[in-house]
Chain A
Amino acid sequence: MEQPAVNDQPRVHQRTTRTIAKPHVMEEWVGKVFTTLCVTVLVVTIAAIVYFVASHGLATFITDGVSLSGLLSGLKWDPEGDIPLYGALPFIFGSFSTSLLAAIIAAPLGVCAAVFMTQIMPGLGKRVLQPVIELLAGIPSVVFGFVGLSIVVPFLRSVFPGQGIGIAAGAIVLSFMILPTITTIATDALSNLQRGLKEGSFALGATRWQTIYRIVIPTTLPSLLTGVVLGMSRAFGEALAVQMVIGNAPHIPHSLFESASTLTSVITLDMGNTITGSTHNNALWSLALILLAMTFIFVFIVRFLERRNNR
């Protein structure tokens, strides 16, 4: 890890606080305690979330005797059957395939938009494209779900065989939702690029496109990937928009246009119908634990990429 910069936060402050009059010391103390308390609230909250999700999620394996490999690789989810089955592979598959597909759709679009805004027409990009992307970021997920149900699903139904609902519909809706994330981060990365690199390339007689794909994209690749991973992480955790268009059938679909489920959609649908402490309920918490674990993995991938970028 790189050494943090020590030069700001001048040392002088400590000396002044020691010599100032008493009410000021009190004031300083109040401020310090208040802000520290606020940070403590934050830390306690995350600790509590991890603790409670983990304790309920692990109870499935410890007290209810469901095997971990059975949950991760089981193909059949039937918690209310005579022999309850807790195979979550279809949901895990659904979550990964929708978010991956969404990233595959959104990444080229987002990078194109960022290149447009920084390299090709910065003026028009700032005035038109950037506000458009920011607006897109503000649209609530249920509205995306509603639009998905009323445009994307009927469209897929008319073009491809099947009902229209399924992984493809989910991925299209999600790609819209993560486009702003990818674009914003890519734009930041591209505009922070050292001027010299680009100018050097132009000076050697390279065209703009050669400069973009030989110089600009390779240098900023870790940052671009950061955006894609963050977008995927958002797609992975999105619940309602996906649940509305994916169809919610608990099995691995044979095509992209067949009803499927994700981790979030099954939690959304089943949580209200189970009793706290029952095996079914705990199994849902295990799914939430998988979501949580994936969040951590995504954050660590992002950190890894950022560190590579800073080097």
Chain B
Amino acid sequence: MSAKTADRIATAVIVAVSGLIVILLAGLLGYILFRGLPNISFHFLTSGPQTIKAGGGIGPQLFNSLFLLVLTLIITIPVGLGAGIYMSQYAKPGRVTDSIRLIVEVLSSFPSIVVGLFGLLVIVNIFGLGFSLFSGALALTVFNLPLMVRITEQAMNGVAREQKEASLALGLSRWKTITSVMLPIAMPAIVTGTILAAGRVFGEAAALLFTAGMSSPRLDFTNWNPLSPFSPLNPFRPAETLAVHIWKINSEGLAPDATQIAAGASAVLIIMVLIFNFSARWFGRYLHRKFTATK
């Protein structure tokens, strides 16, 4: 076989494999949406689940997922930003910094189920927070923090050195330089990364099984007192999220229409993740235009 023929065959194989990947993913998305979309209705999105009867919805689960995401981001963003800024601006090269970097790397590859177990032991039992949204948010913070740190660090390292030095030369302190000059420049990258990370948090289930719990109390959506155990706004109530709900009905669902509910809920989850993905791209580009005067 001549080298040219080999080249042609290899190219064809690589192109075919790449095409196959695209087709498989399109098929995957198409299948989930095709199976799920017919089950999605206003009733499905707003009503509560049924245990043994057909016709249950995912209203509380959807609300819980969004609420949990907000809680998690409230905790993760300041801590992640702080740690990322430390790693990129304050950390001096050396043994300590290297080991912190190793820690971030290890933490980001921890299995989420182990993070969930840790949450069960420390947050739920020792801190006494019980199965609650807040415990879930803390567990997800552990899971999300390394990602946030890496995003911030990379974004801050991407800021041009001249800009930083100009600010320092004008007599601004390092912290002022970071918050007023560097952070705005790094913002588009940070926002894009955060939204993508949020999408990951939204679909996470293993870390939540033993922290946010696998059940939801009967929620009363007219009760807006955050301290009442039936109020949807109370962060100290158990809460089953959408991803956990999909897992639960697939493994122990008793309702006759469990498969349809799982299909519908998966489609909702995928649509939410797609929204996160596209909004991250769009919002990142928008901020970039706004902050840097490029057209």
- Chain A residues with CB under 8 Å of chain B are 4-6, 8-10, 12-13, 16-17, 20, 24-25, 27-28, 30-32, 34-39, 41-43, 45-46, 48-49, 52-53, 56, 108-109, 112-113, 115-117, 120-121, 125, 128-129, 132-136, 138-143, 145-147, 149-151, 176, 179, 206-210, 212-213, 230, 233-234, 236-240, 243-244, 264, 267-268, 271-272, 276, 285, 288, 291-292, 295-296, 298-299, 302-303
Contact = CB atoms under 8 A, between A and B. Distances in A.
B56 interface: no
Interface string B251-276: 10000000100110010011001101
A8 B109 contact: no
Contacts of A49: 107, 110, 114-115, 118, 142
B202 interface: yes
A77 B120 CA distance: 24
B111 interface: yes
B32 A17 contact: no
Those 4 A-B pairs whose CB atoms lie nearest each other, nearest first? A140-B203, A237-B111, A31-B175, A38-B82
A52 B35 CA distance: 43
B165 interface: yes
Interface stretch (B205-213, B229-237, B285-293): B205-213
**Chain A binding surface SS class:** helix
B22 A46 contact: no
A27 B106 CA distance: 33
B102 interface: yes
B160 interface: no
Interface residues of B, number: 98
B246 A4 contact: no
Given A5-B93, A17-B174, A36-B90, A120 B11 contact: yes
B206 A141 contact: yes
A239 B247 CA distance: 11
5 contacts: A9-B93, A20-B171, A135-B29, A233-B109, A268-B209
Best-surrounded residue of B21, B122, B125, B205 (most CB of chain A within 10 A): B21
A17 B90 CA distance: 14
Contacts of B209: 268, 271-272
Interface string B186-228: 0000000000100110111110011000100000000000000
Given A27-B173, A147-B32, A234 B203 contact: no
A272 B252 CA distance: 14
A239 B243 CA distance: 13
B14 A4 contact: no
Given A27-B175, A48-B122, A42 B17 contact: no
Contacts of A138: 196, 199-200, 203, 273-274, 276-277
Contacts of B11: 120, 208-209
A17 B171 CA distance: 9
B83 interface: yes
B103 A43 contact: yes
B105 A299 contact: yes
Given A142-B247, A150-B259, A295 B110 contact: yes
B283 interface: no
A16 B90 CA distance: 15
A141 B273 CA distance: 12
Contacts of B171: 16, 20
A209 B10 contact: yes
A41 B7 contact: no
Nearest to B106: A299
Best-surrounded residue of A20, A230, A236 (most CB of chain B within 10 A): A20
Contact of B263 (A4, A117, A146): A146
Nearest to B199: A138
A296 to B, nearest CB: 7
A298 B114 contact: no
A113 B17 contact: yes
B117 interface: yes
A271 B173 contact: no
B31 interface: yes
A264 B113 contact: yes
Interface in B1-46: 3-4, 6-7, 10-11, 13-15, 17-18, 20-22, 24-26, 28-29, 31-32, 35
A36 B111 contact: no
Contacts of B250: 142, 145-146, 149, 244
A143 B32 contact: yes
A42 B21 contact: no
Contacts of B204: 140-141
Contacts of B17: 108-109, 112-113, 116
B178 interface: yes
B83 A38 contact: yes
